[in-house]
Structure 1
């Protein structure tokens, strides 16, 4: 079983939309595999997309799953863990799993989902407090960040590949997600804040270039490695929302080349944190989804299943151009071929 996280601690990089399309494309291209999507984000946008998008009652269906007797979300599972933070309780994992194809016919039938939940924000302080308790004979922080690993251990034999959409933060629930994955997909955009975000991500996850040694003992990497645990490896850097009109001399292209330079330096200095050994193997370019993406996400539809032509979406008349849709499908196939 291989587990991927889509994460960047900077918001606005198109992470969730890229994650949704990647999961659908991967599942569609691997029909014999069982795929699980886990939405570890309090906004729960990934879940809404899988359940139909804004135009097809995705939000209503998500609220229904949050209102089940056993809350059928990641927040529902965490709620079960709060009274038993340091050892896994007896549970039925199926209580927290949804099959999106039951609600949204465009989703591959081999995909299951653990829905996101705004409850995560309310739970965050309590979870952090539990993780910082001093308990003789128990590493409370590790026991808490293992909550998702504990759940995956129960369902490990049921799935071949797992994708986790993480919140753009490094909060405790993001650490719970990242400690459970094998590989990271880091979306970036063509702006300098994305470049800084990549540098910050390597500091947060791997403890690289921390501003002072004082932080090293408390670093995520230090605490996990003290328990002889492996860190996730960076598997892909997705340059997302690249406009098709961007020329090689543009300011945007200069920023993207500087990201390549930064990554090349990190590959040279810390090759153990990557699954690839050169930028060309680990970087993919995704052009702007533009109107095609707006329609796909309003309807909760993978790009390969989207019909071209004119339509009304949320009261607006829009046109999906077939040539552009085909370009997007090609870009997503190239990305998922690397998974």
Structure 2
């Protein structure tokens, strides 16, 4: 649900190759992307089409590095254009369920997939905005993973999540039309904040450096303020924070070659025309932190 479709390019084979594969999906008729599905729902806003699972792609059919149990729905830049249509249809007064029907479009496709594949687990990639398509993603989710970087914008983003998703500190003039109020009025549940990875930290002796720790303290303080305002928006009372060290060359190799973390080995990899070295310390630290993240999900 990110119009940049970065994750799709990585899944489709990495930088370069993945971009070519994505263009083929975008050029298909209908498009084999989330945008193609939303085209159908814009024409059929109040009932499922029966074609929902047609947009699900098996990742290893496009990228042999990936395991057979990974499926995905490709991203699409047209989400930005479709956002206006989503808002217009959701704002219609008739039928009275228009807002709820539209905001469950993504939930509908996930429900159709879940019926086809038992025990399916979904991850929805969102960009740091709160557009109409983001609202669909929020309604379709059970839990939120909120990755933060060591900067002031991430600290502010925590407060924005409280306001935009949960209605905390919404100005009185907008309270009646806020996303959280409309979701509640339409009987739609909202996800809980589950884990807040503190991303790309520069570490010394397995701890974040002083500069990074100072910024992370601001993020933690904002998160704790939300917890004090409304504990129900969190999955549990345990700490939601998790340090993720800067992966350096590991992340470059992963995204460029479309390689999953468990297949990255020590040594050199060709990135464009240059050799890139994956060092043992960096790979070990990142794998350990990633295993911790997975264990919390």
RMSD: 1.7
Work out which structure has the larger RCO, using CA pairs closer than 8 Å and 6 or more positions apart in sequence: 1
Cα separation, 1, equivalents of 2:35 and 2:209? 46
Deviation at 1:248, TM superposition (A): 6.4
For residue 246 of structure 2, what is the aligned residue in structure 1? Answer: 288
State yes or no: 1:305 paired with 2:266. no
TM-score when scaled to structure 1? 0.83
For residue 150 of structure 1, what is the aligned residue in structure 2? Answer: 108
For residue 328 of structure 1, what is the aligned residue in structure 2? Answer: 286
For residue 33 of structure 2, what is the aligned residue in structure 1? Answer: 73
Contact 2:35 2:76 in 1 (8 A): yes
Contact 1:207 1:221 in 2 (8 A): yes
Secondary structure of 1:166's counterpart equals coil
Contact 1:70 1:95 in 2 (8 A): no
Among 209, 217, 220, the residue aligned to 2:179: 220
Contact 2:159 2:223 in 1 (8 A): no
Secondary structure of 1:62's counterpart equals helix
TM-score when scaled to structure 2? 0.94
Q: After TM superposition, list the pairs within 5 Å mapping 1:1-339 onto structure 2.
A: 40-55=1-16, 57-89=17-49, 91-135=50-94, 137-157=95-115, 158-159=117-118, 160-210=120-170, 212-245=171-204, 250-279=210-239, 282-339=240-297
Cα separation, 2, equivalents of 1:323 and 1:243? 13
Q: Would you identify which runs of 4 or more consecutive aligned residues in structure 1 move more than 6 Å?
A: 246-249
Change (3 A) 1:200 1:168: same
Equivalent residues, number: 294
Once the two structures are overlaid, the 10-residue window that deviates more, 79-88 or 170-179, is 79-88
Secondary structure of 1:337's counterpart equals helix
Cα separation, 1, equivalents of 2:79 and 2:189? 26
Change (3 A) 1:139 1:93: closer
For residue 31 of structure 1, what is the aligned residue in structure 2? Answer: none
Deviation at 1:118, TM superposition (A): 0.9
- 1:177-225 Cα offsets, whole Å, 9 max, x none, are 1111100000111112210111111111001112x20111111110011
Deviation at 1:62, TM superposition (A): 1.2
Cα separation, 1, equivalents of 2:208 and 2:76? 41
Cα separation, 1, equivalents of 2:209 and 2:14? 38
Deviation at 1:47, TM superposition (A): 0.7
Secondary structure of 2:125's counterpart equals strand
